Amino acid sequence: MPHITKLAIATSIATVLALGACTNDASQSPSEENRFIEYGIATDIRPLDPHTQNIVINWRVGANIYDRLIEQDENLELQPSLATDWEMLDELTWEFSLREDVVFHDGNVFDAEAVKANFERNLADETTSPTAYLFQAVEEVEVIDPSTVRFHLNAPFASLPAHLSHHGASIISPEVIAEDNEAVANGEAPGSVVSEKPIGTGPFQFESWTPDEELVLTANDDYRGGAPQVAGVRFTIIPDAATRLANLQSGNSDIIDAVSPSSMPEIEGDPDINVIEVESTYVNFLAFNTNEAPFDDVRIRQAFAKAIDKNEIFDGIVNGYGSIANSPLSPFDFGFTEIDGLSFDPDEAKALLAEAGYGEGDLDVTLTVSTEGDQVNIATYIQHALAEIGVNVEIEQIEFATFVEYTGEGKTQMFLLGRSSPTGDGYNGFFTILHSNKQTSNQLRYPYANQDLDQLIDATLATEDEAERSAYFKEAQQLVAEAVPFHFLYYPSTLTGVSNELEGVNVIPTGVVFLKDAAFTND
């Protein structure tokens, strides 16, 4: 039976250490030091420019190439990284002290000028960064000396330190930034140079990328704190979950991501596999197009929510891996409050439909889902549940990459998706899907807008007082629970399959996997 490491919200570290017959003091042979980690991933990356791309797989890969001023630990507590400490001098000024022993993969020295160049690029209009909203209050980045930098704000911004731990705050070589800026000035797309030269200060450095096939990183021998104990990491794109699992079982992969809960019974019989289970910041939901009928009527949204028994999904489809959700925030997010969502009540759901003018069989809707993971199974359950209240549901299945583009065009009636809140602060969890000024990529996907909600979200930034911020977040969560622009379903656990020959794999709740301490063991 495999070792299943289950990690609680605030008590455990998501690292597999010396499992099975391995011992903590096992030394590596030269052959092991020259060995690459073979990592099977479900989806391909996008260009490795953290200022122009913002998807989970890029976070996972990029966290091993780039460092940030601040990092998160296994409980999403903020920890020093490229910044050794930070201080709020006044409500509009933050000062950061920087490490003095860091070099980029291209040999350039990390210093305050590099920090300034990175944030000026991220915030520049021509960069069109999907993460610029994270730093929207930054007016100026001032170099005090090579190891000290100040962020001057145009308004109080309580979430700034948390946002500096986001992948979008990754620090790129200033030489590469200068080349990319020049290319943009000559008519090239932002990121055209960075995507070819993704140069950071992290434990691994870019070697090659063959789209739809593989990405190769090699160890950074000059990494602060010591070089990795493996030669590198080869990420191989394996979209099919069954094939990924077969590769892990056969030894062709050392790690695989996105293990399906439905695969766990099969994995339990394999003594050579360890599963790291991490409670995540991700929340899965049913999203409604509130701009168009029938979902511009809150009664229809409430009726659908009351017709769906979340326990049927959580226990019957995802096998209890995770927890039930009623909020856009995860339990890891500052500001999270236990909210009573709309309870399962098919009779009341029927009454709400009748009140809105729909009788038995009068309402036809389309539910759009990706073919990834358990989404089709969840959609099938929802189709059945809504049939019980007289609603006809057609399921539209689309391959994931196309699905993301399609939902972003705002053409769906309702769809299944999810989002991660990677900063550990509630502002990001709200802003990205519920604020009227959400980033452009989500404007059509999530059209719901509410001025009262905007004011509550904005108010969470204007004070450093944690009690005040928590009160604003609580009120915002209650408003969303009543308006039902989304029906939040569950927080899935992140399930990562790891060979028992590999130790030191660190998975945190955002889904990021740190490999700097990974090593092969002697059995």
**pLDDT tens per residue, range 490-523:** 999 999 999 999 999 999 999 899 999 999 996 4
pLDDT bracket for residue 244 (50, 70, 90) = very high
State how far the alpha carbon of 224 is from the alpha carbons of 105, 166, 364, in Å.
12, 20, 59
Residue type, 17: L
pLDDT bracket for residue 14 (50, 70, 90) = very low
CA distance 368 to 390: 19
**pLDDT for the residue 356:** 97
**Tens digits of residue pLDDT in 166-199:** 999 999 999 999 999 999 999 999 999 999 999 9
Cβ proximity of 245 and 265 under 8 Å: no
pLDDT bracket for residue 24 (50, 70, 90) = very low
CA distance 158 to 462: 7
**Tens digits of residue pLDDT in 277-298:** 999 999 999 999 999 999 999 9
**pLDDT for the residue 265:** 87
DSSP tag of 35: P
Q: Please give the average per-residue pLDDT across 267-275, as a whole number.
A: 90
Cβ proximity of 238 and 42 under 8 Å: yes
* CATH-assigned architecture of domain 282-493: Roll (3.10)
**pLDDT for the residue 11:** 34
**Tens digits of residue pLDDT in 129-159:** 999 999 999 999 999 999 999 999 999 999 9
Helix (H) or strand (E) holding 322: strand 322-324
**pLDDT for the residue 105:** 98
Q: Please give the average per-residue pLDDT across 238-255, as a whole number.
A: 95
CB-side neighbour CA atoms (13 Å) of 445? 21
Residue type, 228: P
CA distance 131 to 138: 13
CA distance 252 to 244: 9
**pLDDT for the residue 175:** 98
Nearest one of 95, 80, 118 to 200, comparing CA atoms: 118
Nearest one of 501, 498, 503, 497 to 516, comparing CA atoms: 503
Q: Please give the average per-residue pLDDT across 390-398, as a whole number.
A: 97
Angle, vertex CA 256, rays to CA 252 and CA 262, nearest 5: 115
pTM: 0.88
Q: What percent of the chain has pLDDT over 70?
A: 93
- In this predicted structure, which of 7-16, 323-332, 373-382, 397-406 has the lowest mean pLDDT? 7-16
Q: Please give the average per-residue pLDDT across 223-229, as a whole number.
A: 93
What are the residue ranges of CATH 3.40.190.10 in the chain?
33-272+500-522
Crossing angle between the packed helical segments 346-355 and 298-307, to the nearest 10 degrees: 160
**pLDDT for the residue 262:** 86
**Tens digits of residue pLDDT in 97-119:** 999 999 999 999 999 999 999 99
Q: Please give the average per-residue pLDDT across 65-77, as a whole number.
A: 95
Q: Which fold has domain 33-272+500-522?
A: D-Maltodextrin-Binding Protein; domain 2 (3.40.190)
**pLDDT for the residue 474:** 97
- In this predicted structure, which of 14-18, 103-107, 325-329, 390-394 has the lowest mean pLDDT? 14-18
CA distance 329 to 166: 16
Dihedral of alpha carbons 486, 489, 491, 495, sign: negative
Whether 12 shows a pLDDT value over 70: the answer reads no
pLDDT bracket for residue 32 (50, 70, 90) = low
Whether 334 shows a pLDDT value over 50: the answer reads yes
CA distance 515 to 523: 20
